[in-house]
Amino acid sequence: MESSYQSVYEASCREPERFWLQAAAAVDWDVAPRQALDDSAAPLYRWFPDGMLNTSVNALDRHVAAGRGDATALVYDSAMLGTRRSYSYAELLREVELFAGVLAARGIGRGDRVVIYLPMVPEAIVAMLATARLGAVHSVVFGGFAPRELAARIDDARPAAIVTCSGGIEPSRRIEYLPAVAEALALAGHRVSDVIVKARAGFQHTVDEYRGSQAAGTAHADSTAHAVQWHDWDRLAAEAEPAGPVSVAATDPLYILYTSGTTGAPKGVVRDNGSHAVALAWSMKHIYDVGPGDVMFTASDVGWVVGHSYIVYGPLLAGATTVLYEGKPVGTPDAGAFWRVVQDHKVNVLFTAPTALRAIRRADPEGALVKDYDISSLRTLFAAGERLDPETCQWAGAALGVPVIDHWWQTETGWAIAANPVGLEQLPLKPGSPSVPVPGYQVMVLDGAGEPVPAGVEGNIVIKLPLPPGTLATLWGNDERFIQSYLAIFDGYYTTGDSGYLDEDGYLFVMGRTDDVINVSGHRLSTGAMEQAVAMHPSVAECAVIGVADPLKGQRPSGYVVLKQGADIGEAQLRQELVALVRSHIGPVADFKDVQVVQALPKTRSGKILRKTMRQMADGDEYSVPSTIEDPSVLEDLLRVLRP
């Protein structure tokens, strides 16, 4: 039976230009586009090439002009400080206008770059929107990144200014940002003129310590050391004049967001203004079913793509309320932290990572803490960032009593590739699947030779070109690397780097990165499928299965599990039961025999398990500790297990 989703999806594939021009009507344009797609430089495609707009106007001004200035735009909830603050659309607009004036007074304008190195504080959102207001380009770097990583991004983006603060707050420590910024400036070859610092109480270092200091980049250290001007945010704001919006081309860049590159050099994903606004506005209505008056709590970080899209831009483009949460899913103070936020701010839609749900489940296996809060406002829980295993999905659904919707996307795409589009039509849920391709994404599964595979057969997940609006336009300053990294592997397709399959109903199953497919005695097997089986065990909170080198079989699967709090099972019994589970669900061919219980799995700050690093450690290969790792000490404990 043809559905609302099906008809919309087919229209997006059949007449993409017409489809996206109609979608563009949800955005306020200074010059409305007449052309949807520019394919003159294919495979580099651009959307709405003749349109002009300003993203901050669409996020703020237009809602105030429509009489919704008193509606709540932003709620800041800091579990770390025990403080909360709300901003109406009119109040947030005033903050953004003023800080845009601060940046303009420092000479920043259309096309200039601004690096934002901030934790989860309102100033991060203000700085992003203020940069966009001037037609400048922001590049948010996760607060607390090591100086060398920050320096690499400074050298690539070549910013005119850095916006930062005194530091970030973790449950067990405070992280001083200013020494890290100063060191990054000394390491970088690019000269940065201005550093603007928002003061936070309780930190050792202040902006006054750095005034007049010399910072020499390595490229010019011997000859032309230059003075970086360090400024106090509040002092500059007290003297600034509010700045109006600058109209930019739809194809002008809005932001650069760096993601890890296989060569070690970070890749600067470029998102443009026009197609980004159109895609996010469409997604808010049709995927998340969020609009004016709704409250969305995205438990991520502004330094990640999820934070860009669905803490900052998406909810504000939709005229909704966004919750900025400075805290953790557990430990601030307990595993009921998210449910407390839902209750206190009457959250309608919660978006978090599966790794957060697994952490909550591990600490509160029965979901007892949910009962301490009134979460009746919650309609839907969305998850993305890692595979949502069926066990965690079913646990969350039972604990919360709402649909739990997995959806799949990447830093590069900026919004969902596959999802259950509840704003269009809530389709039946299939645990283990992020549901169906989103309108605009023509998803296919190919074998190694580039030929489509039958339903149910695993292969390379690709997207037919052109990619829809909102996806990456290119990599910053490097079109060739963009083409070679994503477009050259399969002609006419964007390569996601993930493997999986489409079932007979058109549902997508993403089993893991293509390098997580292992070869056991000539059989290609998915470690993701094995993880799915292991996660079914009632004592397992989370797990990782990797392929380790084996002289006889090429590779053999090896499992690492974290137990739920209070789990009472011997390791020998657990191993026997897990081997039986994998044998039952995958078959004897998996040859799954190795299981180790560990205290924690190594993860990035965004929740991705570092499987590649684990493989390198297990095989005795050289490995480097990724800059994105959440807790480096986990690797030290794991090394004793991987190399006994």
Report if residue 570 sits inside a domain: yes
DSSP string computed for 514-562: GGGEEEETTEEEEHHHHHHHHTTSTTEEEEEEEEEEETTTEEEEEEEEE
User: Residue 250 — pLDDT band, cuts 50, 70, 90?
Assistant: very high
Alpha carbons 607 and 552: distance in angstroms, whole number: 34
Q: Contact, 546 vs 565, CB < 8 A?
A: no
Strands 474-475, 173-176: parallel, antiparallel or unpaired by DSSP? unpaired
Q: Would you say residue 218 has pLDDT above 50?
A: no
Element (H, E) at 281: helix 273-286
Q: Which two tokens stand for residue 43?
A: 């495979």
CB 104 within 8 A of CB 114: no
Residue 272 has pLDDT above 80, yes or no: yes
DSSP conformation class of 599: S
Tell me: the pLDDT tens digits for 90-111? 999 999 999 999 999 999 999 9
Whether 518 has a pLDDT exceeding 80, the answer reads: no
Question: Does residue 331 lie within any of the structural domains?
Answer: no
In angstroms, how far is CA 283 from the centroid of its own chain? 15
Contact predicate 321/271, CB 8 Å: no
User: Is 224 a member of any domain?
Assistant: yes
Q: What is the pLDDT of residue 224?
A: 37
CATH of the domain at 165: 3.40.50.980
Radius of gyration of the chain (CA): 24
Question: What single string gives the DSSP state of each residue in 37-102?
Answer: EEEEETTEEEE-TT-EE-HHIIIIIHHIIIIITTSEEEEEEETTTTEEEEEEHHHHHHHHHHHHHH
For residue 515, the model assigns a pLDDT of 63
Residue 30 placed within a domain: no
β-bridge mates for residue 267, sequence order = 259
pTM, 2 dp? 0.85
C-alpha–C-alpha distance, residues 99 and 555, integer Å: 55
Task: Give per-residue pLDDT as tens, 183-194.
Answer: 999 999 999 999
Count of domains forming the chain: 2
Residue at which a domain ends, from 246, 277, 302: 246
Predicted local distance difference test score (pLDDT) of residue 635: 82
Among residues 226, 246, 266, the one where a domain terminates is: 246
Task: Write down the mean pLDDT value for the chain.
Answer: 91
Domain end, chosen from 246, 280, 307, is at 246
Evaluate whether residue 261 is within a structural domain.
Answer: no
Q: Does 311 reside within a domain?
A: no
For residue 131, the enclosing domain spans: 89-246
Least confident of 75-84, 116-125, 498-507, 514-523: 514-523
Q: What pLDDT, in 10s, does the model give residues 403-441?
A: 999 999 999 999 999 999 999 999 999 988 999 999 999
Q: Give the C-alpha separation, 206 to 303, whole Å.
A: 23
Q: How many whole angstroms from its chain centre is CA 476?
A: 18
Please indicate, yes or no, if residue 70 is contained in any of the structural domains. Answer: no
Distance from the Cα of residue 85 to its chain's centroid: 24
The 10s digit of each residue's pLDDT in 597-638 is: 998 898 877 677 888 888 888 888 877 777 767 788 888 778
Q: Which of 70-84, 225-239, 249-263 has the highest mean pLDDT?
A: 70-84
Position 465 in a domain: no
Instruction: Out of 225-229, 244-248, 421-425, 600-604, pick the least confident.
Output: 225-229
> What integer pLDDT is reported at residue 91 of this predicted model?
98
CATH of the domain at 554: 3.30.300.30
